[in-house]
Structure 1
Amino acid sequence: MSQAMGFAPETLICLLCVILLLPAPSTSQDTFIRSRATYYGSPDCYGTPSGACGFGEFGRTVNDGSVAGVSRLYRNGTGCGACYQVRCTTPEYCSDEGVNVVVSDYGEGDRTDFILSPRAFVRLARANVASKLLAYGVIDVEYRRVSCHYSGYNLMVKVHDYSRFPHYLAIVVLYVAGQNDITAVELWQEDCQQWKGMRRAYGAVWDMANPPRPSGSGSIQLRFQVCGSAGTTWVQSRNGLPSDWKPGVAYDSAIQLLA
């Protein structure tokens, strides 16, 4: 799958996600949307750690490897981490519930909205007929957005491996629960007494050159603009990034978004 970088006005992103994907007060979309899906090759049937969302290993194994690349649902990266119920529509081969997948990549197929990991694709099938479904390659499906659930996990902030302390900070936000999109991330700049916005570098990766440095042994405070069924709001992390943050390390925010 190819990696896509792009930027869009946050207000437009939020408006689209509320109108198209997040009808309140339901915990999921009531109406299924018809589309098509295919699958990609994988030696172990899981996802890929090099997906366009920037999730790394999280994007390979989250949700037991039931992940997907999407095209228009990618939404310039805002769609990364969203959860969907996908079910195919051939009664003799397809299960009633289908499979819930997490968006971890960008990809375009033959008029498809979903390019599923092999593990996700076979879970569309009834017992003992997965091989027949795989033989189709591309199938008709219907889908709806559903809430993500991560039992035992708070929202996590992982410092991207490309970060270089202290001059360049890139982060990935993981375990975003519910039907919520992260549409902005800000860091508190203590010397100016104001919030400073990070840039969406690509996918779910946010970055900043010369990030704020807290005084003494303090932490870097973060807050997230969340677009969900309740509208748009700012949520501040209870735990900030330590002043000596390290690339590759994931830090617990001590918060979780509502489903």
Structure 2
Amino acid sequence: MTWSTLPAQLFYFTLTLLATLSASTEEDWKPARATYYASYDPLDRVDGACGYGDLGRNGYGMATVGASQALFERGKVCGACFQVRCVEELRYCIPGTTIVVTVTDFCPPNYSLSSEEDGYCNPPNHHLLMPIAAFEKIAIWKAGNMAVEYRRVKCRREGGVRFAIDGHGVFISVLISNVAGAGDVNAVKIKGSNTGWLPMGRNWGQNWHVNADLVNQPLSFEVTTSDSVTLTSYNVAPKEWRFGVSYTATKQFQDQ
């Protein structure tokens, strides 16, 4: 049977189903506002609320964003990627341009100011604080507090997922970064060669911790992102792993 011989009702049902499935794979644009900070600002170099450290050295560069409280979800959204475009301000918007940014920081509320005026990041505002280098990809800097639209998109990363191990003794803290796909991590497990899988707790952002004696054991990790995709990486850190060292997995989340 060919497309030309399908009954008309079945043909139109098939087209409707395909359109629905296509639309469901892409999030709708949502309204927000955006401001920027200057390139010489210390925010360019500090860890930020997600704990990623030097953003340039760790692969995030200036394509980053600080999210307001309504978006930040107490750090759960760290590592997620937003596609952003300028709207309404026709004098300042750069037509047809978008930028994909990674959530690496928190834009805190200022309750001494009204959310309708200068309290940009106060609830319930959806606000994005961007480096000026990112802001100027979609608008002229004179736009100031600018109307934008954003949507979640998949993150694309070079190389494998990174695990920076810190702590002391039986307290182990792991910063997880360079995560592709959904980008934001919801659950982590760690395993030594002499243990089973041990669930880790979220400390802040994408810093996870566990109390366990894992010295002199190669370490494996099981990472689950917000879209319920799990990546298992065996023996990421060798038996001689050390605190203060970052280890990179050979695997990465693939586009689904």
TM-score between the two structures when normalised by the length of structure 1 = 0.74
> 1:61 Cα shift?
6.3
Indicate whether 1:159 and 2:165 are aligned.
yes
SS in 1 for 2:197: strand
Unmatched tracts of structure 1, length 5 or more? 1-22
1: CA distance between counterparts of 2:24 and 2:81? 12
Contact 1:47 1:67 in 2 (8 A): no
Partner of 2:154: 147
Partner AA of 2:157 in structure 1: Y
Partner of 1:117: 131
Structure 2 CA distance for partners of 1:112 and 1:104, relative to 1, 3 Å: same
1: CA distance between counterparts of 2:213 and 2:26? 39
1: CA distance between counterparts of 2:133 and 2:85? 14
Contact 2:47 2:55 in 1 (8 A): no
Q: Please give the residue correspondences for 1:20-169 in structure 2 after superposition, counting only pairs within 5 Å.
A: 29-43=26-40, 47-58=44-55, 62-71=59-68, 72-89=70-87, 90-95=89-94, 96-108=96-108, 109-110=119-120, 111-125=125-139, 130-133=140-143, 137-151=144-158, 153-160=159-166, 163-164=167-168, 166-169=169-172
Structure 2 CA distance for partners of 1:168 and 1:106, relative to 1, 3 Å: same
Partner AA of 2:154 in structure 1: S
Contact 2:132 2:141 in 1 (8 A): no
> 1:59 Cα shift?
6.8
2: CA distance between counterparts of 1:81 and 1:27? 22
Which of 230, 236, 248 aligns to 1:234? It is 230
Unmatched tracts of structure 2, length 5 or more? 1-19, 109-118
Partner of 2:189: 186
> 1:195 Cα shift?
1.4
Partner of 2:247: 251
Number of positions where the alignment pairs a residue of Structure 1 with one of Structure 2 = 219
User: Radius of gyration: which is bigger?
Assistant: 2
1: CA distance between counterparts of 2:197 and 2:152? 32
Partner AA of 1:244 in structure 2: E
SS in 1 for 2:235: coil
Q: Percent of aligned positions with the same letter in both sequences?
A: 29
2: CA distance between counterparts of 1:124 and 1:92? 12
RMSD over aligned CA atoms reads 2.7
1: CA distance between counterparts of 2:22 and 2:237? 33
TM-score between the two structures when normalised by the length of structure 2 = 0.75
2: CA distance between counterparts of 1:188 and 1:24? 38
